[in-house]
Homo-oligomer: A and B are copies of this chain.
Amino acid sequence: MSFGLTFFHVVSIVISVLAFGTAFWLYRWVSKQPSSNKRIAEVGGLIRDGANTFLSKEYKTLARFSAVVAILILVFFPSPIWKGQISNNLTMAIAYIFGTVFSAIAGKVGISIATIANIKSAEAATKGIKPSFMAGYRGGAVMGMAVVGSSLLGVTLVLMLTDDASALLGFSFGASSLALFAKAGGGIFTKTADISADLVGKVELGIPEDDPRNPAVIADNVGDNVGDVAGMGADLFDSNVASMAAALVMAASLGNAKENISMVFCYASIGLLASIIGVFTANMKEGGNPTRALNMNTYVTTAIYGVLTAIATAVFGFEWRIWLASAIGLLVGVVIGIASDYFTDDNKKPVHMVAKACESGPAFTIISGTSYGLLSTLPAMIGIGISALAAYKVCEPLGDGYAMFGISMAAVGMLSIVGMIISNDAYGPIVDNARGLVEMGNLGDKALEITDSLDSAGNTVKAVTKGFSIGAAGLTVIALLGAFISEVNIAAVELGKETITGFDVTNPTVFFGLLVGAAIPPVFSAMLMLGVDRNAQRMVAEIHRQFKEIIGLKEGKEGVSPEYDKCIEIATAGAIKELIPAGLMAIISTLLVGFIGGVNAVGGFITGNIVSGLVFALFMSNSGGLWDNTKKYIEAGNHGGKNSVAHKAGVVGDTVGDPFKDTAGPSINTQITVVSLVASLAAGLFMALSLF
């Protein structure tokens, strides 16, 4: 089927270019902000160099890995080269490479601006909260615009050039596989450094966070960039592409393909436009509340999106039911975000209860934090379930296949404001870095207080945005389950086998897959956390060595500085080593289940993987956020404040929560997407070659 160059392709390209223009303008704006402090420039330079070094090593490893995968795709997917058409395989392989490259570029852009904006935000903090906030926020927005612009542009170009919606699965798989490893690598790096710096610095020696005597302090700040900026960017690039890909694959298989495809592009473009408007209207008054400013942006963007898509639906005569599905998705995203916020906000009961438990020591801190984290899964699971069900029921009357398309449009709706979400999310590590620079550059207590409050706002908002991205991943993979069935049936028709309509859990092959699939997210998380654990133990040993061997370091003697680069090297080497196995395990187990148990086993496997993946992603993200804010709440002077028994327990909770929320939790998202995409890509092979 030929989809041709439609009006909405052009619109998408124009809006993407507009996003790039916005990113460029913001980049220039941030660069022009004043910076004069030499010490900060020096430290900022160390951070930038560390981040760039890690990134180029990581990308080198991933380039090799991707080349191997590209060759495998070329030979085997969508069907073995000796059986199918080579042009299809070539298209798929190129689309895959395209996806990895786009994702890598988005990460690189993010790092590049974040390591400028952190310096600007730090220096601006000496002038007041407003300029410091704006530097941080606009720095984050560069990343937001770049990621969303390139995902929309990428998807549009792939569809225009190949005229084949299935190629989008290849593009999406490229984005996902890169995200999987970038998130894992960055997550291991950042938490290795963060945990080690905290454990030796805060807990053992009692020196403040970001104290320049701590050998791991630069590595910690580098980690914020490579984990939270580059990794998170790759993650949301992937979610965004996957949601569009799923929607477009399904749209292409519907009767009225052209109109539905137009609709996907139209809504995605409007989402990006709304985010651009949101970025420019973002503002805060001197003395204002940064959390409110960030959340306000989200609500404004949501409202703009709702109104503009309604107008577009009326003007272009799209189906109102599909509009409703996408609006439901967005609305439920907001609700999930609010629920996540409840469990992590330091004004709410969970943080207060865990803080109280801290008084009884670390064991209670862990038990109560774990418990609230487990409780927090319920509202989001219900929310995702209801939005999928509602979107399905709303679109079902439109005809065959529309129901699943409705779910994919709910995912598109939920991710429509992703530009805004990334901007808010990237703001966090930038102001976290700024806080570190203020401390290391001795910019004074007032500046420290300002960056502290900006940092805390970043943490709170993070919970909301993470809720959003987990919810969207959930909806997307449900839609991908539909895409998997489509791919299976295409293969079935070709092979003259029976087509399938779904996966019945009372079929024991499906149930077998379900049980095994459900075990993958825990195993995946465990592998990543053990990576952090191993790595951090090495780094702690190195920090101990430096404090012992470098004379005058502990006392802060003038002119004595630690060997920052040693710690950066350990974090880099460890992360590079550990980033491949966990992701590979997920991919290989999908293939194993498929080749042994066939498509029914894989259907169950994907389902089990989604269900347990969502539970663990929510649990880990929320409990981690909860512990982080509990520690901050105690540090603000509650339950004895800094250096009290409660504080020590709080630090233990925060340390446990670190790999939960920044390594394992957010990577699970990507893991379930990758598994679904691998399954869809290999559907034909499973159908043809499985053992049972």
Contacts and interface: CB of A to CB of B under 8 A. Distances in A.
A313 B362 CA distance: 56
A195 B518 contact: no
Nearest to A606: B505
A603 B515 contact: no
A669 interface: no
Interface string A638-678: 00000000000001100110010000000000000000000
A510 B295 CA distance: 34
6 contacts: A203-B361, A374-B526, A382-B519, A478-B511, A505-B510, A518-B612
A537 interface: yes
Interface stretch (A328-336, A384-392, A426-434): A384-392
Interface stretch (A28-36, A141-149, A528-536, A573-581): A528-536
B357 A505 contact: no
A607 to B, nearest CB: 5
A477 to B, nearest CB: 11
A510 B530 CA distance: 35
A509 B502 CA distance: 13
Contacts of A659: 367
A678 B482 CA distance: 32
Contacts of A612: 518, 611-612, 615
A566 interface: no
Contacts of A367: 529, 532-533, 655-656, 659
A515 B387 CA distance: 12
Contacts of A607: 505, 514
Contacts of A474: 515
A537 B357 contact: yes
Contacts of A482: 506
A525 interface: yes
A363 B515 contact: no
Contacts of A368: 529-530, 533
B652 A533 contact: no
Contacts of A490: none
A21 interface: no
Interface string A355-385: 0010011111011101111110110011011
A271 to B, nearest CB: 24
Contacts of A300: none
A491 interface: no
Closest 8 A/B residue pairs (Cβ): A502-B504, A363-B655, A374-B522, A502-B506, A374-B526, A392-B508, A385-B515, A381-B519
B361 A611 contact: no
A87 interface: no
Interface residues of A, number: 81
A536 B366 CA distance: 14
Interface of A: 195, 199, 203, 357, 360-364, 366-368, 370-375, 377-378, 381-382, 384-386, 388-389, 392-393, 403-404, 407, 474, 478, 481-482, 485, 501-516, 518-519, 522-523, 525-527, 529-530, 532-533, 536-537, 540, 603-604, 607-608, 611-612, 614-615, 619, 651-652, 655-656, 659
B363 A656 contact: yes
Nearest to A375: B526
A403 B370 CA distance: 40
Given A195-B363, A363-B199, A386-B512, A523 B378 contact: yes
A77 to B, nearest CB: 23
Given A485-B506, A611-B611, A511 B363 contact: no
B199 A407 contact: no
B371 A529 contact: yes
Contacts of A388: 508, 511-512, 515
Given A371-B530, A533-B368, A381 B508 contact: no
A482 to B, nearest CB: 7
Given A516-B382, A611-B612, A372 B526 contact: yes
B381 A515 contact: yes
Nearest to A363: B655
A507 B502 contact: yes
A307 to B, nearest CB: 28
Contact of A523 (B366, B374, B515): B374
B523 A377 contact: yes
A504 B506 CA distance: 9
Nearest to A506: B502
A451 B403 CA distance: 64
A519 to B, nearest CB: 4
A655 B368 CA distance: 12
